[in-house]
Amino acid sequence: MERCLKTADDDPVKAVEIEACRIHQEDIEANHRMGDLGAEMIDPESAVLTHCNAGALATGGYGTALGVIRSAWAQQRITKVHVDETRPWLQGSRLTAWELMQDEIPVVLQADVAAAHLLKQGDVKWIIVGADRIAANGDVANKIGTYQLAINARYHRVRFMVVAPFSTVDMTIQRGEDIPIETRNSAEVVSIGSKMLAPPKVDVWNPVFDVTPAELIDVIVTEKGVIRMPAKTGMAPLAC
């Protein structure tokens, strides 16, 4: 936008509006591209699990992880979507479950801690999540709880897919442990609205994200293409 303003003529507001619309359209096209690429890998009659919200409300209008789910549903590849509530902000409950219901995609909401027990049942074939940042080696930072899902997936032989635009990839960060992890206010953990859930003054650790190592990820989907087994190659094949 700064570059756009510097090159604008008499009407900088109009120039910025045009650029914003271009970016918006580019994002929607990228989401549909990722949706199609990810859906191709899902076998028919599969149930899937997602965490947090990576849908229309988090993007230009289609979604990354939910874009794959939407495309797979349209292609009759998935039977239902299990959604973690995603504590402490409950994005899964408040956003993802709502989005899926609007699209009339079968959705089952669950507590985050139910995921391992669910995967043990054998119905879920893929875990599909978004990403907030991807390191050069394929390590992925995403909403807290993603890492434990990846561990559970590997134990139960469930495949793990990360879906994110290539702008999420930071080739200046070599590995996930170098990604800064934000921690937030304790009130998000000890209360919901005005309702207290914990003793006053209890110590709280509230990291917003965690890092999933590349070796626990089966595939990373971007609009530029797909990286299978990112632990072997990192993100370099898509960086040119």
**Helix ranges, the chain (H):** 2-7, 12-39, 65-74, 91, 97-102, 115-120, 146-156, 187-190, 230-233, 236-239
Catalytic choice (132, 139, 210, 218): 132
Q: β-pairing, 140-143 with 209-212?
A: antiparallel
**Of 11 and 232, more confident:** 232
Euclidean distance between CA atoms 38 and 56, whole angstroms: 16
Q: Does the annotation count 103 as an active-site position?
A: no
- Phi and psi at residue 214, to the nearest 5°: -55, -30
Q: What Rg, from alpha-carbon coordinates, does the chain have?
A: 19
| 54-109 residue pLDDT tens | 999 999 899 999 999 999 999 999 999 999 999 999 999 999 999 999 999 999 99
Residue 4 has pLDDT above 90, yes or no: no
* Rounded mean pLDDT, 144-163: 98
Quickly state the pLDDT bin for 193 (edges 50, 70, 90): confident
Position 72 scores a pLDDT of 98
Q: How far apart are the first and last CA of the chain?
A: 24
Euclidean distance between CA atoms 219 and 172, whole angstroms: 21
pTM over 0.75: yes
Euclidean distance between CA atoms 129 and 211, whole angstroms: 13
Q: Answer for the pair 77, 85: CB distance below 8 angstroms, yes or no.
A: no
Position 10 scores a pLDDT of 79
Q: Answer for the pair 197, 190: CB distance below 8 angstroms, yes or no.
A: yes
Q: Answer for the pair 137, 234: CB distance below 8 angstroms, yes or no.
A: yes
The number of beta carbons lying within 10 Å of the beta carbon of residue 90 is 16
Give the largest CA-CA distance in the chain. 63
Identify the sign of the CA torsion 231, 232, 234, 237.
negative
Quickly state the pLDDT bin for 202 (edges 50, 70, 90): very high
Q: β-pairing, 219-222 with 225-228?
A: antiparallel
Q: β-pairing, 46-50 with 124-129?
A: parallel
Residue 147 has pLDDT above 90, yes or no: yes
Euclidean distance between CA atoms 140 and 214, whole angstroms: 7
Q: Is the preceding peptide bond at 12 cis, omega within 30 degrees of 0?
A: no
Q: Answer for the pair 46, 125: CB distance below 8 angstroms, yes or no.
A: yes
Euclidean distance between CA atoms 6 and 14, whole angstroms: 13
Position 87 scores a pLDDT of 95
Q: Collect all residues with Cβ–Cβ distance below 8 Å to 163 and sequence separation of at least 6.
A: 34, 38, 54, 64, 65, 67, 68, 128, 129, 130, 131, 220, 221, 222
